[in-house]
Amino acid sequence: MEIVAGRVNLMRIPSRTTLLGPRSVLAASAAAALLLGGCSSPDDEGATPDTAPSAAQPPTAAATPLETSAAPSAPQETPADCPGLTRMTLTVPGTSAPRFAGYYAALSRDYYADACLDVAIITATSAAEALATLAGGTADAVVAPLAEGLRAREAGSAVVNVAQVFQRSGTVEVSFTSAGIDSPDGFRGKRVGLGSTGGWEVIAAASKAGLDPVADTTLVPGGGVDTLLAGEVDAAAVQTYDGYQRLLGQPQPDAGTPITPDDLNVIDYAADGVGLLPDGLWVGSDRLADGAGADAVQRFVTSSLRGWIDCRDDAAGCAALPDLAPGGDIELATRMVQAVNALVWPSPLGVGVIDPAQQSRTVQVALVTKDLDGGRLITREPDEQAITTAFATEADAQLTAQGLNVNG
């Protein structure tokens, strides 16, 4: 079976320059605790897949920089209450802006500015490309799934997870109830969409159900909402906050009546035990090598998590922010933000602090899931410096001191 990767055009969001406000102060002790929090051992619930779709090669330090569409920012006057202007570029993978609502909220509501940060957000077509902007020096921070970041680190990119914002996977397999696919063992003999993130969870679930994903199913690259509606797949891999929300309300292929949740079977890969942790915040380890760089990262993490708290408490308000509503559809954007919130909250250990059980499961699936050439997402346990909880823990302490709920 041949799998051909699709081509996605790069969507670019203009960078913005913000005014500055009072600076948040990072305690000196935080810099000394930069690389705390190692990786747990894999638990016993990881899948034992046989094969998975081929994945793109991980980024290297020689990655090609992204182009941005915005003109250079005008020089900004630094207010007296800020010792200096720290510019930071955040690269996010994909064009579904509600997925990144917390960062847009922090930008639009001046949380970055209040921390003396001048932040621009640009988009990449994939997590691998986003990580490449960090390795190539065109970004200061990126959003990327845990396994993708660990894969890049194993390949030589000195990236560090400084906040694991998403606490659980949002990948689901949806099908019409008439197809009779209500669990992964129902994939037998079916055309199964792999989704836009590589299909690792799809293959892991099929293998865990005792199927040979290649011999027993027909794996369809992409295989999202459009292919399901067109009858090209029997099941589509989508995200709860994006494809699933877009599917609801579409006319049914045969009846023409709007699709409702009652018309669909949904397989939740997180509940099936093969979910991979999605978006976390990654920075280069060189950024953490000195006090000034670590201070900027701390201010960035704290401000970002403040934005995510806003979107939890006011999903409709976040959905109405510039750049968030697809086609200006505020109702759809609100549903998307609410679905994203379900992946972030609750955060029992504090927003941005990685759940050891979810970390272990992600590592286990990434270690054992093979692509068609026998390759894996990662080939060894991540080193202890790959993930640090120091920044999220400090951010949560600061936000709690402001009277904010960091657990949901």
| Residue 99 · residue 279 · CB < 8 Å | yes
User: How do strand 141-145 and strand 279-284 relate by DSSP bridges?
Assistant: antiparallel
- Enter the tokens of residue 41: 């051992």
Q: Which domain holds residue 239?
A: 171-268
- Which residue, of 223, 239, 268, is where some domain finishes? 268
* Structural domain includes residue 22: no
Beta-carbon count within 10 A of 189 CB: 11
- 47 shares a domain with 156: yes
- Enter the tokens of residue 372: 């068609």
* Listed residue (179, 195, 176) closest to 275, CA to CA: 195
- 135 shares a domain with 260: no
| 247, containing H or E segment | helix 243-247
- Pairwise CA distance, residues 207 & 199, whole Å: 12
Q: What amino acid is encoded at 226 in this protein?
A: D
* Structural domain includes residue 83: yes
**pLDDT tens-place values along the chain, 408 residues long:** 322 222 222 233 333 333 233 343 333 333 333 333 333 333 222 333 334 444 444 444 333 333 333 333 344 455 458 877 899 999 999 988 999 999 999 999 999 999 999 999 999 999 999 999 999 999 999 999 999 999 999 999 999 999 999 999 999 999 999 999 999 999 999 999 999 888 999 999 999 999 999 999 999 998 899 999 999 999 999 999 999 999 999 999 988 899 999 999 999 999 999 999 999 999 999 999 999 999 999 999 999 999 999 999 999 999 999 889 988 999 999 999 999 999 999 999 999 999 999 999 999 999 999 876 678 999 999 999 999 999 999 999 999 999 999 999
* Structural domain includes residue 298: yes
**How long is the chain?**
408
- Pairwise CA distance, residues 285 & 388, whole Å: 11
* Structural domain includes residue 6: no
pTM above 0.95, yes or no: no
How many domains is the chain built from? 2
**CA 125, 313, 341 angle in degrees (round to 5)?**
40
- Pairwise CA distance, residues 52 & 381, whole Å: 19
- Residue 375, pLDDT score: 80
- 221 shares a domain with 115: no
- Pairwise CA distance, residues 115 & 273, whole Å: 39
* Structural domain includes residue 13: no
- Residue 185, pLDDT score: 97
Output the domain CATH number for residue 113. 3.40.190.10
| 236, containing H or E segment | strand 236-239
* Structural domain includes residue 134: yes
- 154 shares a domain with 58: yes
* Structural domain includes residue 11: no
Q: Compute CA 377 distance to the chain's CA centroid, rounded to the nearest angstrom.
A: 16
- Which residue, of 215, 242, 268, is where some domain finishes? 268
